A and B are shown apart, each in its own frame.
Chain A
Amino acid sequence: MTTEAGSETEVKKGSEQLGPDKGKDKPEEESETPENQKSREASSEEAQDSSSAPAPTSQSSPSSQKKEKVSPESKGISRFLPPWLKKQKSYTLAEPKDETKKRTTEEEQVVEESERQTPEGVAQPKKSLEEAGAENQRNAKADDKEKHSVPSPETQPAKEDGKEMEVEKVATGKEETQEEKEKRETKEVQTAEIKTEIIPQKSPKKIKTVQCKVMLLDGTEYTCDLEKRAKGQVLFDKVCEHLNLLEKDYFGLLFYENSEQKNWLDSSKEIKRQIRSLPWIFTFNVKFYPPDPSQLTEDITRYFLCLQLRQDIASGRLPCSFVTHALLGSYTLQAELGDHDPEEHRSDYISEFQFAPNQTQEMEEKVAELHKTHRGLTPAQADSQFLENAKRLSMYGVDLHHAKDSEGVDIMLGVCANGLLIYKDRLRINRFAWPKILKISYKRSNFYIKVRPAELEQFESTIGFKLPNHRAAKRLWKVCVEHHTFFRLVSPEQPPKAKFLTLGSKFRYSGRTQAQTRQASNLIDRPAPYFERTSSKRVSRSLDGAPMGISDQGLLRDFPATGGQTAGDKIIDIEAAGQAKLKEGGREDDGSPVKTPQLELTQDGKTNSLRVDGENIYVRHSNLMLEDLDKTQDDLLKHQASISELKRNFMESTPEPRPNEWEKRRITPLSLQTQGRHASRAEGPCTGVSDAAKSSHETLNIVEEKKQAEVEIEDTLVVDETNKGKMQVATDAGETCKVEHLSKKDSSSLPSDSSSSSSSSESEDEEVGEYQPHHRAIEEVIREEQEEEDDMKRKEHEEKTQRVEAIPEGSKLKVPVEHTQVTAENLVQENAVTIATEEKNLSEEIKQDLGEEKEEEQLKLNGDVSHVDIDVAPQIICCSEPPVVKTEMVTISDATQRTEISTKEVPIVQTETKTITYESPQFDGSAGGNAGVLLSAQTITSESISTTTTTHITKMVKGGVSETRIEKRIVITGDADIDHDEALAQAIKEAKEQHPDMSVTRVVVHKETELAEEDEK
């Protein structure tokens, strides 16, 4: 806040100065063709900022304009602003301009004045229209920018819409200029801020706001204006603030598409990307029904849960018997009316309330009769009693989805805290508890669960259900992932940077788990908030919006002030983002994607590339999943067999930790010497496909393992670097690491993880057992989601993949280095094999894709590589159980891939592909021979200039010992020769420095040198 204030004043100055310049720019813009309008608009905005200084980047004409606009002044201002501020702000500004081209001139001239004073009501509708058309592009662009701007590892699932995808492609080329844009934007943003503050609601031009209506549980309506680009979290927080609700993790916002399809607003994503049509109307609802409401900390939370349940019951969603209807109704009366008063409560007082879908006179009499027996119960007590009874209802907290089984029979799938329930009519015909589910996936309109083999069975079975359509399948999948995460995953270590959590990663449920929210609510330290229970009378509910709801005094007091302020801030941010998008749009038109952009991008911001990486990951995953599903029966069987084999080994391994093993373990110094060995690359798909790649890739895998008392922490650093020079390797690695730490939203920083894991390990042993499968399942699921989101637009995905794979000019060096000692590493081999198959499929697909399309941009290349790695890593961790002596890492490479890739000599290592593995005597989790239980796993990806760092943190519990493994993968891409040894040494050094308390157990260097010339297909 403080910084912003300061900036505002500055901004004003800047804006004033800019005024004249804007006028000049306008004419030019107008002349442009309609196609470029959007881009123009963006450019015009930039123009406002002002200066005519030519931009350094050499892009097509539109881009140049943008560059021109960047003035030294603006840069100066921008310096004062924190980078993230600038970036976000850019967006909103752009949007207003979009509204009308004609207006742009006027608006621009009067930037300050108009913004403050002019009623923009007119402009807004126009905006909306235009937006509809242009939105896709913007969105995509915006996504890119977001990614860059937010130094968070999490990437958002931007690909839901095909449109967005396309846009992204265009945008990538433009990223070069981002920094500049950002700076300009900042100025504009600031002006916007001023405006917003003055007239928060009206500032239509610069700040595009959308009115949100939220139907609250008490039947009242909450209205607020949001930045168009606001994320779901913003709205949700506002609503919760309005409600004075602290234990909000159980709740969520629903919106309906097609009137029947309800969707949960993802708080980590922009609202406008989830809800396509105006108006924005949401319903505040309970999302996760706490199995034991008595464990909620505050009465007000229970109250809202009660309201939800009353709705559920009255609507018939939550069926109950006559007696239960009556009983629950009587508690409702007690809570809302207090003790039965014979004077006041005559015969008909009850009929105003709705207790059941079909309420009869008899029921009302029963309710009244029971009401009399509750004398003396306080409202809070009555609510508690209500909940105690409601929670026992069999359908309490069960989210039902229509589906058909494999034989086409209509069934219902119910998602609840404990797992997945299958109903036929009203009968429960099957149930899959979360521990039993290994994987959840969906493909098109099919929903699959892979179920752990039963006692005597050898193989897992996959059960498929047919959903009405793709969206329904995805919805169900999401609900499953969320429920599983919320109710089953305990992450005792709450990341200190909870703030980031809300942003959410596309991979996972981004909110707190139940365990975490319970923890958090234990810390609630406020006097029980006063709130007024509204009556659930039928009449009041439906019609009048009169806020009978919660009249919390505290709320009334606080809301105007804080609410207003926050709104302003947010608006500003959004604006900036908007600008950015616009500018990008302009670039699009400019069009031709430059092939060198990669480098520039990286240079600009290290954090920028994060998002890109994430996207790639998405694609990867999705491809993987697709492949999996598309595999022939044989492949599937083999795959399953191998998995189950691993699993069996895992299960059979001794439960107790072997002290000897531990003693044996020691940390061996990593030798940097690489053994030249031709190993196929595990990462086949990425590398193999890359035709044009002239950059060299290095992959350094470093596994750190630390043994503390009983706690073993493993750190695996996988470093992929895209490098141009030796210098970069060293610096980049270091930087990447830092980025990671900052960006970790999901989990606490690495060091903290280790400690926390140790503490929690023993106590949680039992629970943990169930988690492992889940965990894995979740990860996979996540991948699928990505795929699914894109599902509709597979083509687009393919395109992306293509891009990724197409490496502009690089030769890839992959040097997998394994340091193997006698420890059990066999599993790794197996894993590798499995992975390999998948990869092959991927690569094949990719190839096909390539053949069909050409990639425009190569930015994602790095990301892809890391992608693959990520996939591999978790598997290894999970699967590698049996202690085996392994010397070398078996690289699984596709023959096809190799052939396709032409390798180029690398100065140091003159082989095309090298994989070297250094391994300390310890092995990964598998070593103990214990069946470890996977506590948690997370993957964090960050990208810096020419490096992509993927950190995978896995926590396992083995026989009372918890072990944290951190696996980092750094990809260095570069044209030039790299001193690999030096790079490796540097990476290891960095890793050690970062996690001094952990030991490096494994280093894998993967070098690839490829000729760019080849066309794959």
Chain B
Amino acid sequence: MAGLGGGPAAFGRCTHAVVRALPESLCRQALRRAAGPEVDYARAEREHQLYVGVLRGKLGLQVLELPADESLPDCAFVEDMAVVCEETALLTRPGAPSRRKEVEAMKRVLESLNLNIVEMVDENATLDGGDVLFTGREFFVGLSRRTNQRGAEILADTFKDYAVSTVPVHDSLHLKSFCSMAGPNLIAIGSSEAAQKALKTMQQMSDHRYDKLTVPDDAAANCIYLNIPSKGHVLLHRAPEEYPESAKVFEKLKDHMLIPIANTELEKVDGSLTCCSVLINKTAVL
């Protein structure tokens, strides 16, 4: 029985993953904060397939893959559509109006998993899943261009067991653009000033003391931690080819099974590792 997620020990447990295929419209129409080189769709697809392959094949998760929707160029970034914690899923109201339709498909798939679904209907609320960092003990919600106070409040109302603290995010798209959980009590954090400032805020807001793993590159601080029964600590992180210095830092994690994954193409449109999946821990009993 896992009350409150079974406690910190169960952090990272995961049985299911929801992903979505890349639409070709992604290359040109996906939202991006800054202009830059065009996305190489073929390469992006290869990288994405590798990503899904790791989740499904290597880690044994049940991966639910939604079909791409060409009218929704950002639809591959499913993370922003839902926040799932234990048996409850909060369907978000993404900050970018063009993405709001992406929620529909997510809703269907989550309903199929018999999760308690909460929808964010308040028209004043916006929330991107990328702004939500769940540490196993509490939530931090980045207040960014995509996420506002009201959205955070609704999240707090949805997950009443947990403290929900807000963290101002200024210079990046999402809170998780420069941080993520790299272990049950470990926050991976980028080295930029903004990232460090955000970390300080989080540390002050928390009753708990987290360890931190500082990596040179903000983008590399976005990684995926999983606790797979047969494999223990698993960490998906950016490949050494992309961020060699940061990769070295990850390699110091001796207890983790490290899986480097390249994400060069999606990164061009502000995609990160966590963006591309919604991880769900479906317990058998309930």
Contacts of A395 in B (CB 8 A): 163
Contact A320 B166 (CB under 8 A): no
Q: Does A328 reach chain B (CB closer than 8 Å)?
A: yes
Q: Does A2 reach chain B (CB closer than 8 Å)?
A: no
Chain A to chain B: the 4 pairs with minimum beta-carbon distance, closest first: A394-B163, A426-B156, A389-B3, A319-B160
A373 to B137, CA, bound (A): 25
Contact B161 A392 (CB under 8 A): yes
Q: Does A198 reach chain B (CB closer than 8 Å)?
A: no
Contacts of B149 in A (CB 8 A): 424, 427
* Chain A interface residues toward B at CB < 8 A: 319-324, 327-328, 366, 370, 373, 388-389, 392-395, 416, 418-419, 424-431, 433
Known: A392-B161, A394-B161, A394-B162. A430 touches B3 (CB 8 A): no
Interface 9-mer from B32-40, B199-207, B250-258? B199-207
Closest A residue to B158 using CB positions: A321
Q: Does B7 reach chain A (CB closer than 8 Å)?
A: yes
Known: A321-B88, A392-B4, A393-B4. A427 touches B285 (CB 8 A): no
Contacts of B138 in A (CB 8 A): 394
Contact B204 A393 (CB under 8 A): no
Contact B165 A373 (CB under 8 A): no
Known: A323-B3, A431-B207. A426 touches B157 (CB 8 A): yes
Contact A429 B3 (CB under 8 A): no
Q: Which of A321, A322, A392, A426 contacts B164 (CB 8 A)?
A: A426
Q: Which of A323, A366, A370, A431 contacts B205 (CB 8 A)?
A: A431
Q: Does B11 reach chain A (CB closer than 8 Å)?
A: no
Q: Which of B88, B153, B204 contacts A427 (CB 8 A)?
A: B153
Closest B residue to A373 using CB positions: B1
Most buried by B among A327, A388, A428, A430: A428
A389 to B162, CA, bound (A): 12
Contact B1 A429 (CB under 8 A): no
Contacts of B286 in A (CB 8 A): 323, 366
Q: How many residue pairs between the two chains, A and B, have CB atoms under 8 Å in the bound complex?
A: 79
A323 to B1, CA, bound (A): 10
Contact A389 B165 (CB under 8 A): no
Contact B161 A393 (CB under 8 A): yes
Known: A370-B1, A428-B166. A323 touches B207 (CB 8 A): no
Contact with A along B8-40 (1 / 0, CB 8 A): 000000000000000000000000000000000
Contacts of B156 in A (CB 8 A): 425-427
Known: A324-B161, A373-B1. A429 touches B166 (CB 8 A): yes
Contacts of A389 in B (CB 8 A): 3-4
Q: Which of A324, A394, A426 contacts B153 (CB 8 A)?
A: A426
A395 to B162, CA, bound (A): 8
Most buried by A among B1, B153, B206: B1
A370 to B3, CA, bound (A): 11
Q: Does B102 reach chain A (CB closer than 8 Å)?
A: no
Supplied contacts A324-B3, A419-B207, A426-B164, 12 more A-B pairs, CB within 8 Å:
A320-B160, A321-B159, A322-B88, A327-B1, A328-B3, A394-B138, A394-B161, A394-B163, A424-B149, A426-B157, A429-B166, A430-B205
Give 13 CB contacts A-B under 8 Å.
A319-B160, A319-B161, A327-B3, A373-B285, A393-B161, A394-B138, A394-B162, A424-B149, A426-B164, A427-B165, A428-B166, A429-B166, A431-B204
What's the nearest-Cβ distance from chain A to residue B15, in Å? Answer: 16
Contact A418 B160 (CB under 8 A): no
Q: Does B265 reach chain A (CB closer than 8 Å)?
A: no
What's the nearest-Cβ distance from chain A to residue B212, in Å? Answer: 15
Q: Does B74 reach chain A (CB closer than 8 Å)?
A: no
Contacts of A392 in B (CB 8 A): 3-4, 7, 137, 161
Contacts of A433 in B (CB 8 A): 204, 207
A416 to B207, CA, bound (A): 10
Contacts of A393 in B (CB 8 A): 4, 160-161
Q: Does B79 reach chain A (CB closer than 8 Å)?
A: no
Q: Does B49 reach chain A (CB closer than 8 Å)?
A: no
Contact B152 A427 (CB under 8 A): yes
A343 to B88, CA, bound (A): 33
What's the nearest-Cβ distance from chain B to residue A388, in Å? Answer: 8
What's the nearest-Cβ distance from chain B to residue A460, in Å? Answer: 16
A852 to B143, CA, bound (A): 55
Q: Does B87 reach chain A (CB closer than 8 Å)?
A: yes
Contacts of A429 in B (CB 8 A): 165-166
Q: Does B218 reach chain A (CB closer than 8 Å)?
A: no
A328 to B161, CA, bound (A): 12
Q: Which of B87, B153, B165 contacts A323 (CB 8 A)?
A: B87
Q: Does B116 reach chain A (CB closer than 8 Å)?
A: yes
What's the nearest-Cβ distance from chain B to residue A942, in Å? Answer: 41
Closest A residue to B149 using CB positions: A427
Most buried by B among A319, A431, A433: A431
Q: Which of B4, B165, B285 contacts A428 (CB 8 A)?
A: B165
A849 to B157, CA, bound (A): 53
What's the nearest-Cβ distance from chain B to residue A205, in Å? Answer: 55
Contact A427 B164 (CB under 8 A): yes
What's the nearest-Cβ distance from chain B to residue A265, in Å? Answer: 28
Q: Does B86 reach chain A (CB closer than 8 Å)?
A: yes
Contact B86 A323 (CB under 8 A): yes
Contacts of A426 in B (CB 8 A): 153, 156-157, 164
A328 to B7, CA, bound (A): 14
What's the nearest-Cβ distance from chain A to residue B265, in Å? Answer: 36
Contact B204 A321 (CB under 8 A): no
Contacts of A328 in B (CB 8 A): 3
Contact A418 B207 (CB under 8 A): yes
Contacts of B87 in A (CB 8 A): 323
Q: Which of A322, A373, A419 contacts B116 (CB 8 A)?
A: A322
Contacts of A425 in B (CB 8 A): 153, 156
Closest A residue to B88 using CB positions: A321
Closest A residue to B166 using CB positions: A427
Contact A320 B161 (CB under 8 A): yes
A319 to B163, CA, bound (A): 11
A327 to B205, CA, bound (A): 28
What's the nearest-Cβ distance from chain B to residue A46, in Å? Answer: 59
Q: Which of A320, A428, A430 contacts B163 (CB 8 A)?
A: A428
- Which residues of chain B from 141 to 177 have any CB-CB distance to chain A below 8 Å in the complex? 141, 149, 152-153, 156-157, 159-166
A427 to B154, CA, bound (A): 9
Closest A residue to B8 using CB positions: A392
What's the nearest-Cβ distance from chain B to residue A6, in Å? Answer: 56
Most buried by A among B137, B161, B162: B161
Most buried by B among A328, A419, A424: A424
Contacts of B3 in A (CB 8 A): 323-324, 327-328, 388-389, 392
A573 to B166, CA, bound (A): 56
Contact with A along B242-286 (1 / 0, CB 8 A): 000000000000000000000000000000000000000000011
A429 to B167, CA, bound (A): 8
What's the nearest-Cβ distance from chain A to residue B253, in Å? Answer: 26
Contacts of B157 in A (CB 8 A): 426
